[in-house]
Amino acid sequence: MKFLLDILPVIAFFVAYYQSDMYGATAAVMVVCALQTAGYRIFSGKFDRNHLLALGLVLPFGALTLVLRDPTFIKWNGTVELWLLAVALLVSHFVSEKPLIERMMGAIELPRERWGQLTIAWVLFFLFSGTCNVVVAYGCDEATWVNFRMFGMIGMSVVFVAAQTFWLLKWLREMDAEAAKSEASLGVCESPVDP
């Protein structure tokens, strides 16, 4: 359900673009991001950091797009957001005892080394996605970029999260197998000795 809430601004942008134009879509995404942030706060009792980041970027980038009548700003919005997330993940890994990715996925217990690998995977994914956004924005026509934002970016995210899930399941199975093996060996060592 949260995934649908998270992509709501992209859906609003896509629908508004095909109902009006880039400027109508920009206004729509600004409004929906504000409603998304406020609505999440009202219903959950707290702010979502990703929603705040998205709102903090879409308002100035959107305002520049509307005031200057230049869609370049809104096209860069997604890339800047993704690259900032990459930097935040990387920095948190080195300066925090509990990296950002671990705090986001707190229900899972992994060794520090695995959290590092997961952080690098997300950093590379965000950098790659942001770069793809810029390449499509400048290398293709406007409608192709809008379609890419809706289907390409969301599709890449779904594939990446699915791959990450399989990766995590593999690690967790390996950890369970090692724990079971350790328990079995301890059980043999600690078995009572007949008098």
The neighbour count for residue 150, using CB atoms within 10 Å, is 18
Over 60: is that where the pLDDT of 58 sits? yes
What is the percent of the chain with per-residue pLDDT over 90, rounded to a whole number?
A: 67
> Which pLDDT value is given to residue 186?
64
Q: Where are the alpha helices (DSSP H) in 96-111?
A: 100-104
Q: How confident is the model at residue 109 (pLDDT cuts 50, 70, 90)?
A: confident
Over residues 138-152, the pLDDT tens digits come to 999 999 999 999 999
Over 60: is that where the pLDDT of 156 sits? yes
> Which pLDDT value is given to residue 27?
98
Of 42, 32, 24, which Cα lies nearest the Cα of 4? 32
Over 80: is that where the pLDDT of 184 sits? no
